[in-house]
């Protein structure tokens, strides 16, 4: 039975009247032989096969370069970790110091310039007259001024408009 499959495969590979199929391209890519007789007569199939081979070669090169780059990065990171085992401790110490300074700076600014009472100058308080003349008025005078302002007549532009609906409602309620 295997002999029948190989014969059918060989017959399919030897056909030169049609373009190559995907299976034939795979077989040609995997084999290291010279090629198929169809490739000598068909430029389209020959260029497709060459394009596939160059794409696979480019993929191989790109994967090798990427693997080398990842390997170098892993080696560099491992060497850096072995070289500086105290780096996390140093970072935590700097963070703690920054926190202490951040919290302690306002307290130091407030209490840092403390002087004993014997050395500090005496502050002299002087009483000045108020600048506002209204503050000399008594409470009764202020209230009288407010009442007179409130009872003053309203200028005509600020008076409410008379409307027909309000007069109609007042007539209905009477």
The predicted-structure confidence for 69-99, as pLDDT tens digits, reads as follows 999 999 998 887 777 666 778 888 999 999 9
3-state class of 8 per DSSP? helix
Model-level pTM?
0.35
Q: What is the CA radius of gyration of the chain?
A: 50
Q: What does the pLDDT read at residue 88? A: 76
Q: What total number of domains does the chain contain?
A: 1
Q: Give the orientation angle of helix 2-14 with respect to helix 22-30, to 10 degrees.
A: 100
Over residues 90-115, the mean pLDDT reads 84
Let me know if residue 27 belongs to a domain.
yes
If one compares 112 and 66, the residue with the highest pLDDT of the two is 66
3-state class of 96 per DSSP? helix
Say which DSSP state 158 is in.
G
Let me know if residue 140 belongs to a domain.
no
Instruction: Name, in order, each residue with C-beta under 8 angstroms of 24's C-beta and a sequence gap of 6 or more.
Output: 12, 13, 36
For residue 41, give its domain range: 10-83
Over residues 22-28, the mean pLDDT reads 85
Let me know if residue 174 belongs to a domain.
no
Q: What does the pLDDT read at residue 126? A: 58
Let me know if residue 114 belongs to a domain.
no
Using 50, 70 and 90 to split pLDDT, how confident is the model at 60? Answer: very high
Over residues 14-27, the mean pLDDT reads 75
Distances (CA, A) of 162 to 34, 42, 126, 165, 166: 109, 101, 59, 9, 7
Let me know if residue 57 belongs to a domain.
yes
Q: What does the pLDDT read at residue 59? A: 93
Exposed e or buried b per residue across 139-165, where buried means at least 16 C-beta atoms within 10 angstroms of its C-beta: eeeeeeeeeeeeeeeeeeeeeeeeeee
Let me know if residue 62 belongs to a domain.
yes
Let me know if residue 160 belongs to a domain.
no
Let me know if residue 139 belongs to a domain.
no
Using 50, 70 and 90 to split pLDDT, how confident is the model at 116? Answer: low
């Amino acid at each position: 039975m295997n002999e029948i499959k190989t014969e059918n495969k060989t017959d399919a590979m030897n056909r030169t009247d049609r373009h190559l199929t995907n299976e034939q391209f795979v077989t040609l890519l995997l084999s290291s032989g010279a090629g198929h007789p169809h490739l000598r007569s068909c430029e389209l199939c020959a260029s497709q096969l060459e394009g596939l081979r160059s794409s696979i070669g480019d993929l191989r090169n790109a994967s090798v370069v990427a693997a080398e780059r990842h390997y170098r990065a892993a080696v560099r990171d491992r060497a850096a970790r072995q070289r500086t085992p105290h780096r996390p401790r140093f970072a935590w110490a700097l963070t703690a110091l920054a926190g202490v300074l951040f919290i302690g700076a306002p307290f130091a600014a407030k209490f840092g310039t403390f002087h004993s009472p014997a050395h500090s100058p005496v502050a002299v308080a002087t009483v000045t007259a108020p600048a506002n003349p209204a503050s000399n008025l008594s409470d009764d005078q202020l209230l009288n001024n407010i009442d007179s302002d409130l009872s003053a007549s309203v200028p005509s532009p600020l008076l409410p408009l008379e409307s027909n609906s309000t007069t109609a409602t007042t007539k209905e309620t009477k």
